[in-house]
Amino acid sequence: MSVDLRGWARYLQAAVDERREVQGIGAQLGAELSIDDAYLIQDSLVAERLLRGDALAGAKLGLTSKAKQEQMGVREPAYGWVVASSLFGDDTSIAVDELIHPRVEPEFVFVLGSDLNGDQCTADDVLAATAKVVGGIEVIDSRYEAFKFTLPDVIADNTSAARVAIGSEGVAPDAVDLRTVTCTFTVDGVVTGVATGEALLGSPAECVAMLVRHLARSGRGLRAGWVVPAGAPLDARPLGVGTVATASYSHFGDVTVRGV
C-alpha cells in the first residue's frame, strides 16, 4: 500500500495551525499505518516546520516509562524531534489558546556537549557526550481527538511535541547516578507523583542510546548543543489557563510552567 506521506504531514500541520483535533491516520487508511511510514510522515512534518524558518534544537523520546505507557495504552517508546521555537526557560508561561488540549509532564533532559551517532551507541557513550543533565517540563499536545492514538499515529504526530521548558541548573553526567535522581511533580499544589530516573526503561542514558541507534538507521545522529528530553517518568496532566506545574528534582533545579 502506498501512503501519501506528505499529505498526512500536511493534515497534521493543519491541525496545529488551526488548533483543532483530527482523527487518527490509521483509522482512515483502513489498514494499519506501518512504523516506517509513520516516521516518514514525521520527517515530512518536521521538514515543513524547517521550511517555515524553524531549526532543529534536539530530539526526544516518548513513552519510555510504565506510567506513560499505561496512561496512553501504548507499550513501546517512540522518537521525535525538538524544534528551536518550542524551547522555553525554566520559569515559563505557556499560552494555552495557541494549543489544542495541552498536557504537562516532567522530563529528564540531556544537554549534549558533543555529537552522538552510531548503531552501536551505548549508555556510556551518551554520558561521555553529555555536558549536563537538567530537569524540564514538556507540554505535549496530541493533534488527535481526545488525545487517543496508536503507536504509528503518535509517531507520525512527532510524539505530541509542542513546547518544552528546559531547566538551567543541572549536573554533570558523572556527578550522580541518573537512575537515582528523584523527580516530584506538583500541579496546582498537589503532588501528582514521585519517580526516579530508573522509571525511564531502567536508565535515562540507555533511553538516549536507543534514540541514537534509531537515528543511525537513517544515517542521522544528535548534535552538540542539542537538548534531548528522555521521556516523562510520570503521567501527564492537563494544562489549562491558571494551571501551575512544578517539576522538582533531587539533583537539578526546579522547573515551573504556568498556563496563561
C-beta of 46 vs 232, nearer to ligand OOG: 232
Residue count, binding to ligand OOG (CB under 6 A): 13
- How far apart are alpha carbons 104 and 185 in whole angstroms? 10
Dump the DSSP string for 220-239: --B-TT-EEE---SS--EE-
What is the length of the chain? Answer: 260
**Residue 196 bridge partners (DSSP):** 182
Q: Is residue 68 near ligand OOG by the rule CB under 6 A? A: yes
Interacting residue with ligand OOG among 42, 130, 142, 196 (CB under 6 A): 142
Q: Read off the C-alpha cell for 170.
A: 543541572
**Residue 78 bridge partners (DSSP):** 62
Q: Is residue 150 near ligand OOG by the rule CB under 6 A? A: no
Q: What does 173 bind: Mg ion, ligand OOG, none (CB cut-off 5 to 8 Å by kind)?
A: none
- How far apart are alpha carbons 167 and 122 in whole angstroms? 25
Q: Which of residues 95-134 bind ligand OOG (CB under 6 A)?
A: 105
Q: Is residue 62 near ligand OOG by the rule CB under 6 A? A: yes
- How far apart are alpha carbons 169 and 86 in whole angstroms? 19
**145 within 8 A of 156, measured Cβ to Cβ:** no
Site string for Mg ion, 221-250 (x = CB under 5 A): -----------x------------------
Interacting residue with ligand OOG among 16, 63, 99, 104 (CB under 6 A): 63
Binding segment for ligand OOG (CB under 6 A), chosen from 13-21, 39-47, 137-145, 174-182, is: 137-145
Interacting residue with ligand OOG among 33, 99, 112, 138 (CB under 6 A): 138
The residue whose Cβ lies closest to ligand OOG is 62
**105 within 8 A of 128, measured Cβ to Cβ:** no
Q: Amino acid identity of 230?
A: A
Q: Which residue has the cell 483535533?
A: 21
Q: What does 68 bind: ligand OOG, Mg ion, none (CB cut-off 5 to 8 Å by kind)?
A: ligand OOG
Least CB distance from residue 106 to ligand OOG, whole Å? 9
What b/e sequence results for 38-49 when a residue is b if at least 16 CB atoms lie within 10 Å of its CB, and e otherwise? bbbbbbbbbebb
Of all helices (H) and strands (E), which one includes residue 36? Answer: helix 35-51
Q: Which of residues 133-152 bind Mg ion (CB under 5 A)?
A: 138
Site string for ligand OOG, 229-258 (x = CB under 6 A): --xx--------------------------
Residue 173 DSSP label:
T
Instruction: By CB under 6 A, name the binding residues for ligand OOG.
Output: 62-63, 68, 72, 105, 138, 140, 142, 154, 159-160, 231-232
Which residue ranges make up the site for Mg ion (CB under 5 A)?
Answer: 138, 232
